[in-house]
């Protein structure tokens, strides 16, 4: 069964064709980084306009790279939230239109729930080790920092989430404060490799054991207050040290709470996904923790950590198998019997 996955929750227009929820036949992403870079963050109106321009070319390219047409597709999966309302509406409206005209079933997918499915994706036909249920998933991105306990492909419960800023949002705002540009996470990761992680002891919020929720507004404010009090007059070395110290505080929290979640649930597999999962320091710390702690760690390659259509198609496949069809809100609906 081939599923066309469409993702437009924020500033990336993405589409992919995935077979049986696992095998990636194509994955195409149109980034808007250059559109939003002058503003230091995503501008919702500009994101929506860019999605309108790119969604048809991106879907056409995904189908072409997979060597298929809509006649070969068995269903459509599309992000229905959370995210920027304007951006989501474009992808969702497009998917509904294609569903109606082509007579294909579609399903709306929760963007956060889809991220862990990136760990199950396989490019080509070479089999690989994949996570086993039950598992813990740490979703860490620009808009979300969430811990999930998954007992199946579509069965999960939220066991921790951010109470204010997401980790990725904190990265972007601190990068803007330090004059590093957008996207901020990449810039901080690069500079931090040359900095002293112990230069400044920033706060590690909500680190009482057993508390699986997150809060990153405090560390962001701590960096702001430090810059106000000390400035950046000492030159580029000071910026490197600040970047490294800030990054270490965030990584300490993410790693610590992921380990507590494994302990609390009894799971032995940890999946980490979302844009911040590309961070090299986070990957290193988690790899060390897995080696020392005896649990299995699964972090998708960077192209599947950030927003993509393949993860949407993967979760959509399992939803459609369970009969979770979306509605078109029209009087005349195609029949999807026999899926």
Any idea what the CATH number is for the domain that residue 212 is in?
Answer: 3.30.420.40
- State yes or no: pLDDT of 84 exceeds 80: yes
Question: Are 43 and 159 in a shared domain?
Answer: no
Whole-number Å distance between alpha carbons of 17 and 5: 6
Residue with tokens 């929760």: 110
Same domain, 290 and 197: yes
Residue 261 lies in a domain: yes
CA distance 42 to 289: 34
CA-closest candidate to residue 91, choices 106, 74, 112, 113 = 106
Structure tokens given for 227: 């810059």
Q: Are residues 217 and 239 in the same domain?
A: yes
pLDDT at 339 over 80: no
Provide the residue range defining the domain that includes 167: 135-299
Mean pLDDT computed over 193-216: 90
Q: Is the pLDDT reported for residue 233 higher than 70?
A: no
Query: Taking the model in full, what pTM does it have?
Result: 0.92
Using CA atoms, how far apart are residues 44 and 302, in angstroms rounded to an integer? 24
Tokens matching residue 296: 């299995």
- What mean pLDDT, rounded, does the chain reach? 92
| Claim to verify: residue 174 and residue 71 sit in the same structural domain | no
Where are the alpha helices (H) located in the chain, listed in sequence order?
33-36, 44-66, 85-102, 111-114, 167-177, 184-192, 217-230, 236-265, 280-293, 302-305, 309-321
Statement to judge: residues 199 and 252 lie in one domain = yes
What is the model's pLDDT at position 182? 85
**278 closest CA partner among 183, 216, 161, 186:** 186
First to last CA, the chain: 9
């Amino acid at each position: 069964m081939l599923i066309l996955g469409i993702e437009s929750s924020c500033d990336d227009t993405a589409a992919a064709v995935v077979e049986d929820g696992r095998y990636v036949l194509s994955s195409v992403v149109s980034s808007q980084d250059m559109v939003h870079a002058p503003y230091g963050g995503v501008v919702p109106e500009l994101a929506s306009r860019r999605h309108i321009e790119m969604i048809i070319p991106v879907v056409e390219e995904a189908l072409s790279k997979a060597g298929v047409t809509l006649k070969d597709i068995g269903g459509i999966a599309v992000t229905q939230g959370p995210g920027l309302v304007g951006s989501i509406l474009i992808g969702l409206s497009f998917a509904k239109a294609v569903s109606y005209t082509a007579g294909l079933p579609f399903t709306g997918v929760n963007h956060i729930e889809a991220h862990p499915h990136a760990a199950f994706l396989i490019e080509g036909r070479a089999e690989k080790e994949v996570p086993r249920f039950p598992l813990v998933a740490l979703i860490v991105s620009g808009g979300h920092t969430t811990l999930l306990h998954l007992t199946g492909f579509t069965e999960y419960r939220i066991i921790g989430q951010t109470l204010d800023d997401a980790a990725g949002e904190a990265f972007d705002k601190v990068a803007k404060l330090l004059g590093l540009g957008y996207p901020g996470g990449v810039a901080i990761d690069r500079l931090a490799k040359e900095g002293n992680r112990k230069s400044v002891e920033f706060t590690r919020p909500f680190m009482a054991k057993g508390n699986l929720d997150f809060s990153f507004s405090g560390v962001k404010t701590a960096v702001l207050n430090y810059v106000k009090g000390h400035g950046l007059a000492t030159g580029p070395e000071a910026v490197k040290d600040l970047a490294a110290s800030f990054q270490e505080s965030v990584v300490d929290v993410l790693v610590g709470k992921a380990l507590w979640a494994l302990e609390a649930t009894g799971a032995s597999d940890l999946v980490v996904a979302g844009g911040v999962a590309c961070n090299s320091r986070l990957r290193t710390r988690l790899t060390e923790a897995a080696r020392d702690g005896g649990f299995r760690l699964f972090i998708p390659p960077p192209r599947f950590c950030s927003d993509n259509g393949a993860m949407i198609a993967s979760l959509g496949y399992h939803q459609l198998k369970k009969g979770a069809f979306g509605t078109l809100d029209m009087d005349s609906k195609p029949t999807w019997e026999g899926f």
